[in-house]
């Protein structure tokens, strides 16, 4: 048994959430920031719309078994593009049984998986840069904290205690892992060896599973602390940090509570656009902000290093 943090396990539920009309109690702030940019940028969403229906089954080849504890999106996209042809077609047959038919893009994918999986990967990467990459440092903090918490439980109390608070539908009983309300049985005959546990920010409140032999079963569950993911963090006590970075650079870091463009930051702070651009370049070179192209604009976001620096200064 092992843990893994997977970008692809955030793609499907977050895409569904953005395309849903229902308000979400936890991710509402994220939706309010991302949805307008998604509309303005006008990304090619056709592939994802056909591959990720509003509910129900999602093709298993979109969630390859993580090769390590924290694979990058690039590694996962490489695994998707090299998925066996028969697996892709088997998954699409399964999707067609659930939906009744396949859209035009998926019919083309069925006819020539090797050629069309490149288009699928491009669509996923476009969505990632728009909706998740600018927030990944913050999301990773929550996911990594969940893994650390559960790893400590295993070390202190043993594997059986791990499942006490993983999810209400999961239990460890009589040396067997039991999943309540699962439509299909999970057996060693239908899945590979081992178990990969994947904390997720957007999966919830239920569980998501993937069982495709010979890969180990994957179990994605809601991560602890997701409810606090988008809470605003007061930027008080940054004078000490300003003495090191300068007031303008510190001001920009505090304003990047949510990713923003150079123009938006200039409007908020009353700094000149040229000045903001110069400061952001310095912060990026220092590893404190990251840049993400969205259509014709670029969004800047705080990195995990910047989050830790601000937290230390404010405490």
Residues in CB range of 251: below 8 A, 6 or more apart: 242, 269, 271
How high is the pLDDT of residue 170? 82
User: What is the rounded (10 degree) CA torsion for 74, 76, 82, 84?
Assistant: -170
How high is the pLDDT of residue 83? 94
- Computed on alpha carbons and rounded to an integer, the radius of gyration of the chain in Å comes to 21
How high is the pLDDT of residue 73? 96
pLDDT in tens, 206-253: 888 888 888 888 989 999 988 888 877 666 667 888 888 888 998 888
The structural architecture, per CATH, of the domain 239-314 is Orthogonal Bundle (1.10)
How high is the pLDDT of residue 235? 60
How high is the pLDDT of residue 90? 94
Residues in CB range of 179: below 8 A, 6 or more apart: 169, 170, 186, 207, 209
How high is the pLDDT of residue 237? 67
How high is the pLDDT of residue 214? 82
Extract the residue ranges of the chain whose pLDDT is less than 70.
41-44, 183-186, 188, 233-237, 294-295, 315
How high is the pLDDT of residue 70? 92
Residue extents of the structural domains in the chain: 2-227, 239-314
């Amino acid at each position: 048994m092992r843990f893994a943090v997977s970008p692809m396990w955030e793609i499907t539920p977050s895409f569904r959430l953005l395309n849903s009309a229902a308000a979400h109690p936890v991710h509402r702030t994220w939706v309010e920031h991302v949805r307008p940019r998604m509309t303005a940028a006008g990304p090619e969403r056709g592939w994802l719309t056909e591959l990720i229906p509003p509910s129900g089954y999602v093709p298993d080849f979109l969630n390859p078994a993580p090769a390590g504890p924290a694979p990058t999106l690039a590694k996962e996209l490489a695994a998707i593009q090299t998925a066996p042809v028969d697996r892709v077609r088997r998954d699409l047959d399964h999707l067609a049984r659930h939906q009744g038919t396949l859209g035009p893009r998926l019919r083309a994918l069925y006819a020539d998986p090797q050629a069309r999986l490149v288009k699928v990967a491009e669509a996923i990467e476009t969505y990632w840069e728009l909706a998740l990459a600018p927030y990944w440092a913050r999301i990773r903090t929550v996911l990594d904290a969940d893994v650390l918490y559960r790893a400590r439980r295993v070390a202190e109390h043993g594997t059986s205690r791990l499942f006490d608070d993983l999810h209400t539908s999961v239990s460890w009983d009589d040396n067997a892992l039991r999943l309540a309300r699962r439509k299909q049985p999970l057996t060693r005959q239908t899945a590979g060896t081992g178990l990969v546990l994947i904390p997720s920010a957007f999966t919830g409140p239920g569980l998501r599973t993937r069982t495709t032999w010979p890969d180990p079963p994957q179990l994605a569950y809601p991560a602890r602390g997701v409810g606090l993911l988008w809470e605003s963090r007061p930027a008080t006590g940054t004078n000490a940090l300003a003495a090191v970075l300068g007031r303008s650079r510190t001001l920009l870091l505090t304003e990047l509570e949510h990713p923003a463009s150079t123009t938006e930051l200039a409007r908020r702070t009353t700094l000149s656009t040229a000045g903001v651009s110069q400061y952001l370049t310095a912060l990026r070179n220092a590893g404190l902000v990251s840049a993400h192209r969205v259509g014709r604009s670029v969004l800047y976001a705080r990195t995990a290093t910047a989050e830790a620096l601000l937290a230390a200064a404010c405490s």
